[in-house]
Amino acid sequence: MQIFSARDIKEGMSSPEQANSTDAAKRRAAVWAASQVEDGMKVGLGTGSTSALVIEEVGRRVAEGLRITAIATSEASQKQALGLKIPISDFAHLPQLDLTIDGADEVQEGTLYLIKGHGGALLREKIVAIASTKLIIAVDPRKLVKTLGQVFTLPVEIVPFGFETTMRRLKDLGFDCELRVNDDGKPFVTDGQHYIAHCKLPQVGFDAKLAAEKLKATVGVVEHGLFLGMASKVVIGGPEGIQVLEAAEPENWSEVE
């Protein structure tokens, strides 16, 4: 069986200059997204490098007097939020959230369809997103793609017991899958105590909605990283400022300084 290393996700081909540009783009997107949080809101806090910048900015605003209550999509994000004194709650006390801000691995132009989960928190991310009235996705320009799966594989969270048979079923559906492992070769374990299979998506004739249905119907699959029709807005940081893509008018880009 092929294996997928956590290191493979982090490694890239960016030069130091490109890395600095990307970091600046992420921060612009994060700052704008965090500015959408209003006093009294119940907020979902995402997972990943851009989401960490969002949490940092929300924490700064909380220190200045912003009053919110939040639910984090991962243990790492919750730890960061608590360190910044952002009030954290749970779904027993906050059954519905006003806004969730998260990142994405890929954003398909025109549809706002997303691939999420390379941070290893897709199940919690989807639970929080589904419970939110609005979902804002903050990314840098590299995350925009014309076809899902163009750059990233699709993470699929699976039950550890019998994972070998689950992955065979995924392959029978036409997905070429690899198990995600840590640097020591042991399976990566999510906060929900599951494994992740990374699936390659076909670049011709791929139907995201049909794929989502097939994945959800597969025994052993807990959740998949296709987030379809869920994003309210996607904010993309750039060299000059940001761009915001609205779900209601997917082809309409608005410039914001």
Averaged pLDDT for residues 189-204: 94
Q: Does the model's pTM come out above 0.75?
A: yes
Q: Which residue, 220, 216, 228, is CA-closest to 196?
A: 220
Per-residue pLDDT, averaged over 199-216, amounts to 93
Give the confidence band of 208 by pLDDT, cuts at 50, 70, 90: very high
Q: How far apart are CA 57 and CA 120, in angstroms?
A: 23
Average pLDDT, integer, range 63-79: 97
Condensed to tens digits (0 to 9), the pLDDT of residues 105-128 reads 999 999 999 999 999 999 999 999
Tokens at 11, concatenated: 């490694």
b/e code 150-186 from CB counts within 10 Å (16+ = b): eebbbbbbbeeeebeebbebbeeeebebbbbbeeeee
Mean pLDDT value of segment 181-195: 96
Q: Is 164 part of the annotated catalytic residue set?
A: no
Q: State the average pLDDT for the chain.
A: 90
According to the model, what pLDDT value does residue 18 have? Answer: 60
pLDDT at 71 over 70: yes
Q: Which is the catalytic residue, given 125, 157, 178, 223? A: 125
**pLDDT given at position 253:** 36
